[in-house]
Structure 1
Amino acid sequence: MTCKTTSRGPSARNQRQRPQRHVLAAACYLALIATAQVHAQEAQAADEAVAQTAQADATVETVKVTGIRSAIISAVETKAESTSIVEAISAEDLGKLPDISIADSISRLPGLTMQRKEGRGEVIHIRGMSEQFAGTLLNGREQASTGDSRGVEFDQYPAELINGVTVYKTPDASLIGQGLSGTVNMQTVRPLDFGEQRIVISGQGEYNSLGELTDGGNDKGYRVSASYVDQFANDTFGLAIGVARLNSPFQEKHYKSWWWANTSLWGAPQGAKPDDAIALQGAEGWVKSRDTTRDGVMAVLEFKPNDTWHSVLDLYHSKFDQEEWMRGAMWTNDPWWNGGQVTYTQANTTLHGGVPVVTSGTLSGIEPVIRNDNNLREDKLSAFGWNNQFKWDVYTLTADAAYSRAEREQSTLETYAGMLGGLDVDFTVPLTAGYASYGLPDLSDPNAVYLRDPQGWGHDGRMEDSQQEDVLKSFRLDLNRVVESSDFLRSYDVGFNYTKRTKDKSAQVYFADLPGRVPTLVDPSLLQAPTSLGFAGMGDVLTYDPRALLSRYYDVYLSESNDDLQKDQAIEEEIRTFYAKANLDIDVSDSVRLRGNVGVQYIHTDQRSDGVAITGAGPAAVRGVGASYGDILPSLNLVAEFGDGWNVRFGAAKELMRPRINEMGAYANVWVNVVDGSGEWAGSGGNPKLEPFRANAVDLSVEKYFGDASYVALAAFYKGLESYVYTQTIPWNFAGYEFETTAPPASDWGTFSAPANGGGGYMRGVEFSLALEGSLFHEVLDGFGTQLNASYTESSIDPDGPGGSSTDTFPGLSKIVANATVYYEKNGFSARLSQRFRDPYRGEYSYIFGQRSYRYTLNERTIDLQLGYDFPETSSLSGLSVLFQVNNLNNEPFRTEVSDSNGLGLFFPEEYTEYGRQYMLGFRYSL
């Protein structure tokens, strides 16, 4: 007879009240054997001998939980054991996170979602706030960013090299680098904790359903990875090494309406357009094909020669290369372009919100520009950390040194072509999200399409090369003391952390002109297969490699506007954090246990910025402008355990998030007001004196755990933001600025329009999460399970400040976010179907020439599928798993909308982009 148990108990949270489950199983097993022997033997001596032999030979059968269910068990245990309110994902084994990317996995957690950029999950929004409000750590250390601010781009971190992720929704005093919305901590494997040698290799082939949309792009790719974990010298030395390569195609079919207005109200009628009708004033359609290659490597060296010293060295590096081809057509048809030559010769209208809108007809006189662009990007991300723990008696001293560096080099090249003269085009445009249709002539005719500047932009091509470097250096000391004599204080921590961050950005802008700016036909030998824009009713467009034509046809010269010069800036921050924390554990009664922590941080910040100011005397360098300030941040986390799996959590804290780095630059446009006669200084630009977002937060969560992989939780949170950053007109000292004027200002003080700290408001919401195993209901459902979560979030904050637009919402805020996953796992077979939903939100995106813009993004509902099979241990293929995945199974488009320009409060479709489905078929082999 055999007593069975799982390899992991439901939780360690009740270990003080009962022994481990596997110990009980072993005792049960031995007791049964001993009882049988007593009945079989007559003599006491023989009875004892047989019992001893049985005990020596007995083995306890262990049912090893693997796969999806194992990852859920580990994540649920992390959630239950934490003193903070957290969400977690865990890999059942190396390279087995349950999604294609880290961003996909994190975005399925309660209260979290992701924003798709260029068809892939790149950044995470927590509790209705954009990525700029979240802290991101790797093994507990703050990470540099390849983006233009602080938000980390998660596609830089291969899922194959990450072993788990914990998202802290409430802070504690020892958490460094925390965010206002939450803190994401990615973890790599610890080889000594792993406890066994493991070698894993995996490979996947990838295909994009849109196919090869344009010459130079691919629709097929691959992913390969390998990892090795081992322990040596009697488990005192551990080593983990992992490498991963991704070669992934991304495809894009894109259509965008530029802007909608009734220009007749501004004294600019448009031919046959009715004077009371709104009309579209420009449009674009293109395809993009991106080839992305990412190489990542991770290494962990762990040394623990005794119970006194424990040392861990972490190394991580990734290199991300992307080449993008864009081919398309675009035009403006507003009545002010080209002397009003574009007009409607026929216009049919449809009522939209009670207002007539032109939805079909004929446009006459448009001159579409054919774009052939090539964009190159190279990112490098490195992170190193060395952690040493020294234990003696009741003390533990931890010293941690870390270095994180992110570099980006980018080159964007655009070239223009078009026919000579205006075109008459029949069109149909939708008033709901979707593609339009335009009866354009053949824009791929090599005898009719010239290299030229059809839209009058003043140049025949433009290239921008930019560089960015973000470096974080930190050192931390922490002392923990165990308190053995107290009934409530288990230990306390005191510590100090020093971080220095520098972020440097620069850009060079070049124009490309044809000699004499004379329209030129392209040599047919340099042309590629035409690119089809048939999905948007635009036909084919002329296609070529713009970099191959650059030296042959164009004169290229540096031409930087004032805006371009102001992209050069440097920001430096020095942050000193002092903290103290008491760790509590109290038996309130026989059935109630209270644990948690109370603590405080003091953070002192020194920040400085360099930039370029544009004055009447020309460009001038501005150096060393900044600010110094301090913050006291108390925090409290309590967990009341009532037994039978019931937990109630409470958190309260003062939180901060440092301001956006790209708004802290010392760039400025400066002038003296002579028009209004005041003769005072005035200006606009960045604000190197900008202080953080600050908030008071309260969290409450009620949780019920039942079974190893099942729980239900209901949480509520409230964040009262004391300050929010929005553009204001503030007093400013202009000492040191030069301006050519006959009457210099009498005072150095004037007014400056810049991002500044202002009044705040609230963010509040509720979150529901549920994980259930089918076997809880009936044995027929054994192997089935589900995970569900939903959140509702709202805010009173107007990001434009008092009196701002009533339609603008907090960046990243979707009122409703929901995720649903159903899975089956049994006898080696596994299947998982997941759907992610988010309400409309105000997304933050890169705009033309690298500027940032906010756009109204419509709701998204994406579905992912995963099927797999693990060969059993009895098979000759033991250790081999095969996996089939489909990302974006429903080919969910990306959609935005835009309000009319007449202030009527009407919304019209703006962007409609499809990215296709990603199919992946592969294997994983573990030794």
Structure 2
Amino acid sequence: MYMHRTATVSTLALIAAAAAPAYAQDASSVPAAVPGATQEATPQSQALPGDPQVATAEQDIVVTGVRASLASAQGIKRNATAIVDSIVAQDIGKLPDNTVSDALQRVTGVQVTRGSGEAGTVLIRGLPNIATLINGRESFTGTQRGISLQDLPAELVAGVDVYKTTTPDIIEGGLSGTVDVRLRRPFDFSGLQVAGGGRAVYSDQSGKWGYLGSGLVSDRWTTGIGEVGAMVGVSYNKRQYRDDTAFDFVSNPITPATATTPASPAIPDTVGGTYASGERTRLAVNGSLQWKPTDNLELYADGIYTRYRNTHDVSFFIGLPKATAVGGTVVTSTYPGNPELASGTHSTNAFTLTSKQAYQDQTETYQADFGTKWTTGPAVLSTELTYNYSKLPNRSVIVDTSFNAPTLDVNFDNNGTPLIKVGGVDLTNPANFSLATLFDNHSVATSKQWAWRGDLLYTFDDSVLTNFKIGARFTDRQADSQATASQGLGIKNPPLVSAVPGFGTLSPNGLVQGASGIGQFVDADTGFLLNNTNTVRTLFSQPTGDRAYDPSLAFFDHEKTYAFYGQLGYGFDIGSMHVSGVGGLRVVNTAEQLTGFGVSAKANYLDILPSFNAKVGLTNNLQLRLAFAKTLTRPEFAQLNPLVSYTTTGNTGNQSVFYVGAGGNPALQPIKSTAYDVSLEYYPARSTSITAAGFYKDLSGYIQTYSRTETYLGRPALVSRPRNTGPGKLYGAEVAYQQFFDFLPGALSGFGTQLNGTYIFGTTQDPIFGGQQRLVNVSKYSFNAVAIYEKYGISGRLAYNWRSNFVDSYTSGGSQASSILVAPTGQLDFSGSYALTKNFTITFDATNITDRVYHDRFAGLNQSGIYSSTPRDTRTYDRTFEVGGRFRF
């Protein structure tokens, strides 16, 4: 009957003038905290002879807090071999935001998607295809290629490095970039460290409190067997959240066109809204042991465990303006410029649904790593063995309830939001609602991997070739997924909600801040559905117990990779300019075997991935970078799933399809690109920089999701699948500026700023209809503006993040335009603290201060060949307010 729906900085001349070198102690070098958690296998630790090095305490004035963090991040960027942007937590528990994904939104060229009270998907230069590492090691969640970065709490993180270009020793897989999360280790500290903190969090839309707590203990000792260090860190948080959505679904006419009459105006099949509420908890534990039996030999063991629990629900109001019972009528009004599309309806005796969708989502993820590093003369040999395991068991219980509305009036476009008025029935009376349909499903996804790598770094003295590095890596990963079918189960002699004790409840109130006209309504109680599932099954004449997994929805993927690389570091002078860099090859063989219900496929492919990075010191404080690389990004395991889950659309109008479905595509090929980068970086002082970068990528086989009509059980089905697109390109430019205004008098000298802006343009070839189209998720413009203050123990940061419109998806179906375009959006956040003593700090934070509203629209040519732009979603999110404190001894 319906489907469950799943500027730019422009004043560089003035900035350059303001950023002139003002501090004698900073004129010759840029201090940067060397990332102790980074392994030898990552390029960040490969500072080359002649490169600017970390200043010593005797050479520089020691600073702490935000200023020190920015100086350390700037030093990492300046000294790195590749083009890198970093975030550094100078103090324990002092990453600027609550999670890694929250913090990354401030990085130049990075955008995030938001929902469920947090930042979710991370996009680098508009694309989500990133590789995620923990301490330089591949990490993942479930059947994903990468880890869910929001699972990593800020309290355990020493820093985050965003690699926008690659070197041969970086693990392949990041089309748009690589994110390396550096966790703390005991040798990062000089001795005993005890730190912790906690915060209480209020979310205004949900009207509920949550909390976060963390602690860390680390120490190191000199013993008879050498130096030993041990560290453990723990973080736990519980958050309540609520997201509201008011929506218009795709439109279809009530009556089709004939030889003599045109089709009736197309009306959205459904219209309504959702309250998505949840209680989410996360636990993270990080442990590390380091042992140096001699000065030139180190052995280590690291482990991290993350646990995610999310009990959440969706209270769904589904108006069906075309689904009138006997004697009902539908009267339409149309758009003046698009008479083929309805702008509003008046329906009588309208069949209407509410629905409670209750979910229990879980994740258990482990990573254990054992390694050693041996330095002998000019050579450094390192090896490590890593084990990753992740399991995601999820379940859902969904029950639709129904009633007939004497009148249903809908304005589909009331300033971009549908306005819905239901007359003649009390929506808060459970005696007016009957049970209708049950969706009872569960799934489990597991993934485990063994990975080994070995590396040799050899450094030359007094040579143009400064070093060479070779290495090998082997992985063996099994990813499995099983699930039940999602078809709805009907009910005989449906009872009233009021006749089932404990079943009914009332939804939240005031959808999308009251703009949709939807208030409270009756639906099922979340706790009743999840805790009394067998009772619900009995009501629908189903056997008790979990449904058996559907074999047609299972897939099993076994993947092995063999990688070898070699690279040369070089450095030489051209007059007063020093040139340095790294060049080489990474060779990767991938062997994959995919099996499913009646499906078996094998793939074996070899890729040669050259890369080259050059850094030219034009002056002492000005450097130019040039980079070239070929990249390989494999499809997500779930995208390769050959099987499709179908749902009937029912009879809510003259749809062209009887089913809608979603599935994977075992024919997917890896995404390949050839990337060119250039950057110019000016560092006049230790926490001051002005940088500009340009990039261009040739894309081949980029993966996007498209819907197309297929045949299922002899009926047409609109099936959504990921597909490789044709040739494409992505190019753009970034500018960034940061500075503390120490030259100002008195208290004003505590002010500082970070500004960055990005321009991106990307297209690819439509795999269904041909022609070039915009890449999804890519905003042409985005910027961050951050005002900072740090003085007299006060630390504050007011940050505004903005991005321009972007395409969400194509081929949505329906008579209206089928491309979904998201409107520009921005968010304002604040973070502040006051140091009561050198050991204790109180904090206050606020997010989404301006209470942003999300809008997207169906835009483009509709089925009549006429341009139209009609509303789809309006969404509102929580504002959060946090108070807390942290300590360190």
For the superposition of Structure 1 and Structure 2, which TM-score range results when normalised by the shorter chain? 0.7 to 0.9
Q: Distance in 2 between matches of 1:635 and 1:918?
A: 44
Equivalent residue letter for 1:222: Y
Partner of 2:588: 603
Where do residues 155-304 of structure 1 align in structure 2 (5 Å cutoff)?
155-212=150-207, 219-233=208-222, 236-261=227-252, 266=257, 279-304=267-292
Residue equivalent to 2:792: 827
Whole-angstrom CA distance in 2 between matches of 1:902 and 1:319: 50
Q: Distance in 1 between matches of 2:880 and 2:663?
A: 42
* Cα separation, 2, equivalents of 1:798 and 1:633: 24
Output the CA distance in 2 between the equivalents of 1:685 and 1:15: 52
| 1:513 CA drift (Å) | 5.5
Note if 1:759 corresponds to 2:719.
no
Task: Give the partner amino acid of 2:172.
Answer: G
Q: Using the alignment, how far apart are the partners of 1:840 and 1:129 within structure 2? A: 14
* Most deviating of 535-544 and 720-729: 720-729
Indicate whether 1:306 and 2:294 are aligned: yes
Listed as ranges, the gaps of 5+ residues in structure 2 are 1-22, 33-46, 646-661, 708-712, 714-718
* Offset at residue 919 of structure 1 (A): 0.9
Unaligned runs of 5+ in 1: 26-61, 213-218, 454-459, 613-620, 670-683, 730-738, 740-751, 873-877
Distance in 1, matches of 2:548 and 2:666, equals: 19
**Which residue, out of 416, 440, 454, partners 1:463?**
440
Query: Per-residue CA shift, 1:524-546, capped at 9, x if unaligned?
Result: 74156522444332343124333
Bigger RCO of structures 1 and 2 (CA < 8 A, at least 6 apart): 2
Corresponding residue number in structure 1 for 2:116: 118
Identical aligned residues as a percent? 23
Matched to 2:79, the amino acid is E
For 1:426, the equivalent position in structure 2 comes to: 409
Note if contact 1:792-1:817 (Cα within 8 Å) is conserved in structure 2. Answer: yes
Q: Residue 511 of structure 1 contacts residue 559 of structure 1 at CA under 8 Å; is this kept in 2?
A: no
Q: Aligned partners of 2:427, 2:748: CA distance in 1, in Å?
A: 59
Q: Is the CA contact (8 Å cut-off) linking 2:465 and 2:569 kept in structure 1? A: yes
Partner of 2:606 in structure 1?
A: 630
Provide the residue aligned with 1:480 in structure 2. Answer: 457
**What do the CA deviations read for 1:553-608 (whole angstroms, capped 9, x no partner)?**
3333599999964421011211100100111122333x211111011011011011
Which one of 881, 887, 893 corresponds to residue 853 of structure 2? 893
Which residues in structure 2 correspond to 1:494-643 (within 5 Å)? 494-509=470-485, 516-523=492-499, 525-526=501-502, 530-534=506-510, 535=514, 536-543=516-523, 544=525, 545-547=528-530, 550-552=533-535, 553-557=539-543, 565-589=551-575, 591-612=576-597, 621-623=598-600, 625-643=601-619
User: Which residue number corresponds to residue 16 of structure 2?
Assistant: none
Q: CA deviation at 1:477?
A: 0.8
Once the two structures are TM-superposed, the CA of residue 515 in structure 1 deviates from its matched residue by 6.2
Check conservation: 1:262, 1:902, Cα contact below 8 A: no
C-alpha change, 1:915 and 1:775, in structure 2 (3 Å) is same
Which of the residues 782, 794, 798 maps onto 2:765?
Answer: 798
Shift of 1:840: 1.9
In structure 1, what is the equivalent of residue 635 of structure 2?
659
Name the structure 2 match of 1:38. none
Question: Per the alignment, do residues 870 and 63 of structure 1 end up closer, same or farther by CA in structure 2, a change over 3 Å counting?
Answer: farther
Tell me the CA shift for residue 665 of structure 1.
Answer: 3.0
Distance 2:556 2:548 in 1: 17
Q: Which has the higher strand share?
A: 2
| One-letter code aligned to 1:506 | Q
- Is residue 654 of structure 2 the alignment partner of residue 694 of structure 1? no
**Structure 1 pair 128–339 and aligned structure 2 pair: CA distance change class (3 A):** same
8 A Cα contact 2:420 2:518, kept in partner: yes
Conserved in 1, the CA contact under 8 Å of 2:482 and 2:549? no
Match of residue 12 from structure 2:
none
1:498 partner amino acid: F
Are residues 463 and 894 of structure 1, via their aligned partners in 2, closer, same or farther at CA, if it must alter by over 3 Å? farther
- Map 1:800-879 to 2 at 5 A: 800=767, 803=770, 809-843=774-808, 855-872=820-837, 878-879=838-839
1:487 partner SS: coil
Q: Distance in 2 between matches of 1:302 and 1:919?
A: 39
Q: Identify the range of structure 1 (13-22 vs 397-406) with the bigger mean alpha-carbon deviation.
A: 13-22
**Residue 137 of structure 2: which of 132, 135, 141 is its match?**
141
Task: State the Cα distance separating 1:437 from its structure 2 match.
Answer: 3.0
1:96 counterpart residue number: 94
Counterpart of 1:135, as a letter, is: A
Secondary structure (helix, strand or coil) at the match of 1:103 reads helix
Superposed displacement of residue 348, structure 1: 4.5
Question: Are the equivalent residues in 1 in contact too, given 2:248–2:412 (CA < 8 A)?
Answer: no
> Does the CA contact (< 8 Å) of 2:447 and 2:478 recur in 1?
yes
Distance of 2:720 and 2:786 partners within structure 1: 48
Q: Is the 8 A contact 2:325 2:350 kept in 1?
A: no
- 1:395 equivalent in alignment to 2:390: no
CA distance 1:14–1:476, change in 2 (3 Å): closer
Task: Flag the 1:727–1:427 CA change in 2: closer, same or farther, 3 A.
Answer: closer
Tell me whether 1:70 sits opposite 2:68 in the alignment: yes
**Compared with structure 1, are the counterparts of its residues 722 and 790 closer, same or farther at alpha carbon in structure 2 (3 Å cutoff)?**
same
Residue by residue over 1:279-316, the C-alpha shift from the partner in whole angstroms, topping out at 9 and shown as x without a partner, is 44321222122000111100111112222211221110
Please identify the structure whose Cα radius of gyration is greater: 1
Structure 1 residue 117 displacement after superposition: 3.4
3-state DSSP of counterpart to 2:492: helix
Match of 1:648 among 621, 624, 632: 624
1:10 matches 2:30? yes
CA contact (8 A) 2:723 2:767 kept: no
Contact persistence 1:509–1:559 (CA under 8 A): no
Question: What TM-score does the superposition give when structure 2 sets the normalisation length?
Answer: 0.84
How big is the shift at 1:369? 1.0
- 1:95–1:161 Cα contact (<8 Å) kept: yes
Task: Provide the C-alpha distance between the structure 2 equivalents of 1:366 and 1:777, rounded to a whole number of angstroms.
Answer: 68
Change (3 A) 1:532 1:600: closer
Task: Tell me if structure 1 keeps the 8 A contact 2:492–2:540.
Answer: no
Q: Does 1:447 align with 2:431?
A: yes
Give the CA deviation at 1:521.
3.9
Structure 1 CA distance, aligned partners of 2:867 and 2:254? 16
Cα deviation for residue 190 of structure 1 reads: 2.8
Secondary structure of 1:889's aligned partner: coil
- Between the aligned partners of 1:164 and 1:693, the Cα distance in structure 2 is 29
Deviation at 1:794, TM superposition (A): 1.0
User: Structure 1 residues 728, 155: closer, same or farther in 2, change over 3 A?
Assistant: closer
1:817 corresponds to which letter in structure 2? S
CA distance in 2, matches of 1:268, 1:546: 50
